Structure 1
Amino acid sequence: MATALCNNTSTTWLTECSRDHEHVKFSVYKYVYLLVFPVAFLFNAVVLVVFYLQSRHRSSNFSVVVMNLALSDCSFSLTLPLRLTYYFRGAVWSFPDWLCRVCQYFFYVNLYTSILFLTLLTVLRWLAVAKPHYHRSQATPTRTLLVCLGIWLFVGGSSAPFLYSGVTIRENLPRCFEPSCMSSVRRVLILNYMGTTVGFLLPFFIIIICYCSIIRRLMDLSGLRRTPNICQRNRRHSVHMITIVTATFLVCFLPYHVIRAVHLHATYNQWNCGVRVWLQLTVVVTLCLAASNSIVNPLLYYYSTRMFRNNVMFARFSILSSRRLAMRSRKTDTEEVHQPPL
């Protein structure tokens, strides 16, 4: 197992404030991940299955982005059992070093692909409401898929530095998810600036602009006396999208980025120990909120469009129909076998 070793002074400086409160951090992570893992995996797996079964709707813009978002959330949920094992063993990492790196890497990949996919959904909704003709002619599923692939490549490449930090030795025990040295904190601080600016502030700014335009457009349409049913449904879908995406950003993403930045500065500049402990515990809560975005996103799939609800019902009907046909086939074969010869 490859491990990162630092001098005792550096290690002591990083852990001297939080050592007495680590049991609180581990307990919070254990119980939150115990809830997030099964719900996130099950919900997002259902989303993938439902949209995959509906070949007729897989070619829509919405479905392309949703399947990528669900794939990101599902992949992240598969790393949670490793985190749970780590915290239940008292923060002792008993797996290979590369798994520690992968777990850290996938957290940030999921975090920022989720933000960018939600931003893409918002832009597509804005085009559908404000510029429907352009949306119909230019925002093709193929182009949407290429944008999604670009997001994967951009976030995956930008998050690669998190693969550099693996298992560290502290108090003669292998640890994971911890900065080992001063250089590690400095690297994470630089990555924090990049992630917050490009991965959060810029998408959030785009979303605000799109939502302002959508709301203005919906208010203009509401002034018409005779509005087609399709426009009314479009308004409802847009309102659902605005509510859920805004709530996700304000609850899951905003607190984490704000507190993470302050905590990194406190650690790097060696602020007062009491302040650092309070910030560390706050980071624990906000990180759990950020991880919970993988169970919030399926609500977006369900409430933002009637198509998804129809897909769920149709998939359930297809499965039941397949079972009935299989039972009838077996019954017919049995009757033929037992039928006496003429």
Structure 2
Amino acid sequence: MADLVPGLLICLMAVQTIQHDGNRTRTQTNSSLLPRTYMGRTNKQNNTKLPASTNPRLSVNSEDTVTAYTKGVLSTWVIPSSYILAMLVGIPSNTYILAFLRYRAKSFSTAVLYLNLAMSDLLLLLTLALRVHYHFNGNNWTFGEISCRLITALFYGNVYCSAQTIACISLKRYLAVVRPFLYRRLAKTTLALWTCLVVWFLFGAAIVPELLVRQSYQVTQLGVITCHDVLPLEEKSHALLVPYRLMLVCLGLVVPFLICIYAHVAVVYHLGQSGCDWRPFIRVTTVVFIIFVLCFLPSGILQITHYIRLFSNGDDSLYGYYRVAVCLCCFHSCLDPFLCMLISRTAASEIQFTSLHGKPKRSAVMM
């Protein structure tokens, strides 16, 4: 499974590169394949003549470039097909976790965290249904502005929520293994409930700005209504979105990623120093960590780079590559239930390990 994820990313990037090369041979300009996906410009003269119920119109810099992305195989076939695969696997598995995990978990605090993760993953996967129709329909949104705002907010909010919940689970595992005496004194159930409340509070903070600004615009050159892909960031109403999203990526992806790295290294090191054979457990936790890195790291790097370039000089040519990387986040959401079951089979309610001083200790380690 760990080999499948990077292979999929390489295939998606190859499709993007082939599409880029094909477009470059058709045009004599130095413009990139991807449209100016964020940097649309409001056509104020035409918008004044439109009814209130009609989507405002935006113009973009290059009709050939926009056409190549909007009608190309990447956005109209590869991305929605990946979403469908993630939905077919992830929705049933996360529903199963929500229905049965609470009866099988040996610890209520563990059940709370995994149920929170399953709920976040399920909401993320359910938002993909309308996006699949949007991409298969030539990137033409037909469901109205309200639904576009809601789907966009839920999609990105749940990506961050999933990453933060995984970081909390990793931190819990770290305390159980590395700080067992502190872990035993904690009110684990209360702490788990408060952790979930904080995660969902951050989720709300992440989606509010997306709900307050218009997300759907009609691209005049193509005659389609885009949802979130083309935004007039030069307008006052959207000007603060870029720095806000950059801050959100750092708090929602970078910080959880650093927590997971530290927790995983510390757990593996301490278990390796013990006198017991924890190799099966170490292998399982390593697989979980590698899948987390492969699914979230490309998206985080590309998103940060994209927003920095967009904020500094208006260059949004990385947006298409970032959309490809986001597919991997969706695949992590459909893999989480299987990873949870895999960990539960390799960790009992209590494990015994040898401390660095060589004295056997017993500590509750609920995965």
| Closer, same or farther: CA 117–143 of 1 in aligned 2, 3 Å | same
Q: Give the alignment partner of residue 300 of structure 1, picking from 336, 339, 356.
A: 339
Give the 3-state SS of the residue equivalent to 2:240 in structure 1.
helix
- Does residue 123 of the first structure (1) align with residue 171 of the second (2)? yes
Q: Cα deviations across residues 289-314 of structure 1 (Å, max 9, x unaligned)?
A: 1222211212321211128999xxxx
Report the identity percentage.
24
Aligned-pair distance for 1:32?
Answer: 0.8
Equivalent residues in 2 for 1:241-280, closer than 5 Å: 241-248=285-292, 250-267=293-310, 269-271=313-315, 276=317, 279-280=318-319
Question: Bigger shift: 61-70 or 287-296?
Answer: 287-296
Any stretches of 5+ residues in structure 1 without a counterpart?
Answer: 311-342
Separation in 1 of the partners of 2:294 and 2:139?
27
**8 Å contact 2:124–2:159 — kept in the other structure?**
no
8 Å contact from structure 2 (residues 83, 128) kept in 1: yes
What amino acid is aligned across from residue 224 of structure 2 in structure 1? Answer: L
Q: Distance in 2 between matches of 1:202 and 1:2?
A: 41
Residue pair 2:291, 2:332 contacting (<8 A) in 1 also: no
Q: Between Structure 1 and Structure 2, how many residues are aligned?
A: 290
Q: Assess, with a 3 A threshold, how the Cα gap between structure 1 residues 64 and 242 changes in structure 2: closer, same or farther.
A: farther
- RMSD of aligned residue pairs (Cα, Å): 2.8
Higher mean displacement: 31-40 or 117-126: 31-40
**Greater CA deviation, 237-246 or 81-90?**
237-246
Indicate the larger mover: 83-92 or 238-247. Answer: 238-247
Pick the aligned partner of 1:176 from 210, 215, 227. 227
Distance in structure 1 (CA, Å) of the matches to 2:110 and 2:67: 46
- Return closer, same or farther for 1:207/1:53 CA change in 2, 3 Å cut-off: closer
Match of 1:210 among 250, 253, 263: 263
SS of the equivalent of 2:218 reads strand
- Residue 207 (structure 1) shift: 2.0
Quick check: which has more Rg, 1 or 2?
1
Q: Would the aligned equivalents of 1:47 and 1:298 in 2 still touch at CA under 8 Å?
A: yes
By percentage of residues, which structure has more helix? 1
- Is contact 1:3–1:167 with CA below 8 Å preserved after alignment? no
Greater shift in the superposed pair: 45-54 or 105-114: 45-54
CA distance in 2: counterparts of 1:298 and 1:160, whole angstroms: 28
**Partner residue of 1:167?**
216
TM-score for the superposition, normalised by structure 1: 0.76
C-alpha displacement of 1:53: 4.0
- 2:43 maps to which residue? none
Q: Which amino acid aligns with 1:86?
A: Y
Report the Cα offset of residue 135 of structure 1. Answer: 1.6
Shift of 1:259: 1.5
Quote the residue 1:17 is aligned against: 65
Q: Which residue of 1 aligns with 2:19?
A: none
Counterparts of 1:90-109 in structure 2, within 5 Å, are: 90-109=138-157
Shift of 1:38: 1.7
Q: What SS does structure 2 have at the residue aligned with 1:169? A: strand
Alpha carbons 1:51, 1:58 under 8 Å: kept? no
Cα 1:127/1:288, change in 2 over 3 Å: same
- Could you tell me the TM-score, scaled by structure 2's length? 0.71
* Secondary structure of residue in 1 paired with 2:172: helix
CA distance in 1, matches of 2:298, 2:198: 27
Q: After the TM superposition, which residues 1-342 of structure 1 pair with which residues of structure 2 at under 5 Å, given as runs? A: 5=56, 8=58, 11-13=59-61, 17-22=65-70, 23-24=72-73, 25-54=75-104, 57=105, 59-163=107-211, 164-171=213-220, 172-183=223-234, 186-221=239-274, 224=275, 227=276, 236-237=280-281, 239-248=283-292, 250-267=293-310, 269-271=313-315, 276=317, 279-306=318-345
Q: Distance in 2 between matches of 1:306 and 1:261?
A: 37
| 1:227-272 CA distance string (max 9 Å, x none) | 4xxxx56x74454234313421x2111111222233344455244x
In the TM superposition, what is the alpha-carbon distance from 1:114 to its structure 2 partner? 0.8
Q: Could you say which residue in structure 1 is the equivalent of 2:364? A: none
In the TM superposition, residue 73 of structure 1 has moved relative to its aligned partner by 0.8
| Residues 110 and 3 of structure 1: CA distance in aligned 2, closer, same or farther (over 3 Å) | farther
Q: Distance in 2 between matches of 1:308 and 1:66?
A: 15
Is this contact kept in 2: 1:118–1:245, CA < 8 A?
no
Aligned AA for 2:325? T
CA, structure 1 residues 281+45, in 2 after alignment: closer, same or farther (shift >3 Å)?
Answer: same
**8 Å contact from structure 1 (residues 263, 280) kept in 2:** yes
The residue type paired with residue 43 of structure 1 is: S
Provide closer, same or farther for how the CA distance between residues 134 and 293 of structure 1 changes in structure 2, counting only shifts above 3 A: same
Quick check: 60-69 or 261-270, which moved more?
Answer: 261-270
